[in-house]
Amino acid sequence: MTQLAEERGMPTAVCLSGTGISPAAVIDPDSEVTARQELTVVRNLLARFGSEPGLGIEAGSRYHISLYGPWGLALLASQTLRDAVGVALRYVGLAFAFGQIDFEESGGEARLIFDDHEVPEDVRAFLAERVVTGIQMIGRELYPTGVPFHRIAFRHQAPSDTSRHRAVFGVEPNFGAPANVAVFDSSYLDVPLPQANEWARSTCEQLCRDLLARRQARTGVAGSVRDLLVRNPGEVPDQAAVAMELFMSPRTLSRRLNEEGTSFRALLDEVRQLLSEELLDHTDMTTEQVAARLGYAEAASFIRAFRRWKGCPPQEYRARGVRARVPEAV
C-alpha cells in the first residue's frame, strides 16, 4: 500500500501517519503490523485517493504467494486446489486480518465467500476488492493458467469505471450483491497442482501451526481484550465496547474467545484479580477505592470476588503482605 501511495505522489511517511510505523519497518521482514495500524494506512490512502475506481483491485493485484512465507509455500506444495483451499482456511489468520473467508461447493460450483459485515464501513469496499483480487492472484500462481472465475459479486455499489475489475477477473462483477463471492468450476478442485510436494506441504503447515500459536499467545483476540481491559482500569469497558474496539460484534467476540479457550468474563476476572493485587500491594487505597477503580458498583461485590480468588478478604491479604515485608525484631 505504501508503494501504491508513492506511485501517486504520496510519501511513505505520510501514508504511515498515525500508525507509529517507521518507513524502514515497512521493509523489515521481522516487523509486525497490527490490524489497527493497517486500517490507519488504508484510511490514509483512501483519504487521498478514495475516488479512484478500482483502487482495491490495484492493491490486491500486488499480492504474491511468496509474500506469505510458510502459508504461501504450503499452498504451493499442496496436492490439489482442494487441499490448498483447506490449508488456506485452516491458517487464514496468517494472511488475512479482516473479515472471514468461507468455502462452499454445490451444483458443480466452488465458491469462495468473503464476509465483510464486521469490517468498518469506510474501508469495506476497498478491502473486499483487495481480498477477492488477492485470491485471484494466488490462484494464478497455483495453476499455470490460473483458475478462471465465471462469476464475481461484491456487496458494495459499482464504481464509475469497472475496467480494472474486468481486466483482473475476465468478467463484469455483479455489484450490490448479497455477498462478496468468487465462483469457479468445481472440477478445478481435484486437478493436481504442478509443485505438489507432500513433505514440503506438511513441513510448511507445521510452521503455520507454530506461527499461529505464537501469534495467538502474544496478540490473539484474548491478548487484545486484556490490553483494552487494563488500558484504563478506572473505566473498565463492557463486552460490547471491547467488541466495537476490535471491529467485531459481541457475538463474534464470544466465538473467537471460545476458540482460544476463554471468555470475556474469564478475562475480566483475570485482569481484575491481577490489578487488585497490585493496588493492594503497592498503594494505600482503601478496599472501597480499589473496588471503584476496578469497575465494581459496590465494595461488597469486590470483596466476594477477592475471597473467591485468594481465599481471604482484601484486608487480610494486605495484612499478610505487610507482615511478610516487615522483618522480625532481633
The answer for residues whose C-beta is within 8 angstroms of residue 103's C-beta and 6 or more apart is 85, 89, 110, 111, 112, 113
Burial of residue 26 (number of CB atoms within 10 Å: 0-12, 13-18, 19+): middle
Helix (H) or strand (E) holding 223: helix 221-231
Q: Treating both helix axes as pointing N-terminal to C-terminal, what angle do 314-325 and 299-310 enclose, rounded to 10 degrees?
A: 60
| In the predicted structure, residue 232 carries a pLDDT above the cut 80 | no
Q: Which three cell numbers stand for residue 330?
A: 532481633
| In the predicted structure, residue 105 carries a pLDDT above the cut 90 | yes
Q: Which three cell numbers stand for residue 107?
A: 451444483
| In the predicted structure, residue 223 carries a pLDDT above the cut 90 | no
Mode of pairing for the β-strands spanning 109-115 and 100-106: antiparallel
Give residue 213's pLDDT band: very low, low, confident or very high (50, 70, 90).
low
Mean pLDDT of 123-151: 90
Name all domains of the chain by residue range, CATH numbers in brackets: 1-49 (no CATH), 51-209 (no CATH), 220-325 (1.10.10.60)
Q: What value does the mean pLDDT of the chain take?
A: 86
The whole-number pLDDT of residue 324 equals 53
- Pairwise CA distance, residues 233 & 236, whole Å: 5
Helix (H, G, I), strand (E, B) or coil at 179: coil
| In the predicted structure, residue 96 carries a pLDDT above the cut 90 | no
Contact 305, 267 (CB under 8 A): no
Q: What is the DSSP letter of 79?
A: S
Mean pLDDT of 4-18: 94
Encode pLDDT of 142-191 as tens digits.
887 778 999 999 999 999 999 999 999 999 999 999 999 999 999 999 98
Per the model's pLDDT, the better-predicted residue between 158 and 94 turns out to be 158
Q: What is the DSSP letter of 80?
A: B
Helix (H) or strand (E) holding 149: strand 149-153
- Pairwise CA distance, residues 110 & 29, whole Å: 34
| In the predicted structure, residue 6 carries a pLDDT above the cut 70 | yes
Burial of residue 204 (number of CB atoms within 10 Å: 0-12, 13-18, 19+): buried
pTM recorded for the entire structure: 0.68
